[in-house]
């Protein structure tokens, strides 16, 4: 495949996931104000928010690299009608985990792939049931994993798996930010050699 492949993201997690497919790509930061875009969608469902953010990221980078295939992705964590973003601080991570403890929440991962005039939008929804947690368990977990850049305040690929009773997902890589089974199919359809 001679077309350039770009991941419209600065996320180390998404970069590491896409590297697993062993296709050459580069990362380009999308110039998208996520908060401003989300503010324009105040009554939108979490799935629509994730979809709009993924598409905005892909479109912005595709406008700068029109001959490339561009992958944009976004993830929304939602529970009891609330959207939980990246906490940014240990205090907010602790608050998010206190809120999620003992409940089932959803991680909605949206992907938009733009290649020329083709636009493919994908989504994966994962349901996660967190076990009841003590304050001490929450504080020890946050100190250990530092999940400050993760929606929902946990890293399942690390110690965060110990926080859960059950996880229902069609593609576990979506939990980390990029559903590789879906992305691999789109890339094969576009001509990339993905086994």
Q: How confident is the model over 42-51, as pLDDT tens digits?
A: 778 899 999 9
182 has pLDDT over 90:
yes
Q: Domain extents for the chain?
A: 5-189
- pLDDT at position 56 is 96
Q: Which residues pair with 122 in a beta bridge?
A: 111
- pLDDT at position 40 is 82
pTM of the model: 0.90
Q: State the average pLDDT over residues 159-171.
A: 96
189 has pLDDT over 90:
yes
Three-class DSSP labels, the chain: CCCCEEECCCCHHHHHHHHCCCCCCEECCCCCCHHHHHHCCCCCCHHHHHHHHHHHHHHHHHHHCCCCEEEEEEEEEEECCEEECCCCCHHHHHHHHHHHCCCEEEEEEEEEEEECCEEEEEEEEEEEEECCCCHHHHHHHHHHHCCCCCCCCCCCCCHHHHHEEEEECCCCHHHHCCCHHHHHHHHHHCCCCCC
CA distance 12 to 82: 26
- pLDDT at position 2 is 59
- Residues designated as active site: 74
Joined together, the tokens standing for residue 6 give: 């770009």
Q: State the average pLDDT over residues 117-137.
A: 96
- pLDDT at position 44 is 80
Reported as a pLDDT band with limits 50, 70 and 90, residue 1 is low
Mean pLDDT of the chain: 94
154 has pLDDT over 90:
yes
Domain 5-189: top CATH class = alpha beta
Q: State the average pLDDT over residues 116-145.
A: 96
**First-to-last C-alpha distance (Å) of the chain:** 14
């Amino acid at each position: 495949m001679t077309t350039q492949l770009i991941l419209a993201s600065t996320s180390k997690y998404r970069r590491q996931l896409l590297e697993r497919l062993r296709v050459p790509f580069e990362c380009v930061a999308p110039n998208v104000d996520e908060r401003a875009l989300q503010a324009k969608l105040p009554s939108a469902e979490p799935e629509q928010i994730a979809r709009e953010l993924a598409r905005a990221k892909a479109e912005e980078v595709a406008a700068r690299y029109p001959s490339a295939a561009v992958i944009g992705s976004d993830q929304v964590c939602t529970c009891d009608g609330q959207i939980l973003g990246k906490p940014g601080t240990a205090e907010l991570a602790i608050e998010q985990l206190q809120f999620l403890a003992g409940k089932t929440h959803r991680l909605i991962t949206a992907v938009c792939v733009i290649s020329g005039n083709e636009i493919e939008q994908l989504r994966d929804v994962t349901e996660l049931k967190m076990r009841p947690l003590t304050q001490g368990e929450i504080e020890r977990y946050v100190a250990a994993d530092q999940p400050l850049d993760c929606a929902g305040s946990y890293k399942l690929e690390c110690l965060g798996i110990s926080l859960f009773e059950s996880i229902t997902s069609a593609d576990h890589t979506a939990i980390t930010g990029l559903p590789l089974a879906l992305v691999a199919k789109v890339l094969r359809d576009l001509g990339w050699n993905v086994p």
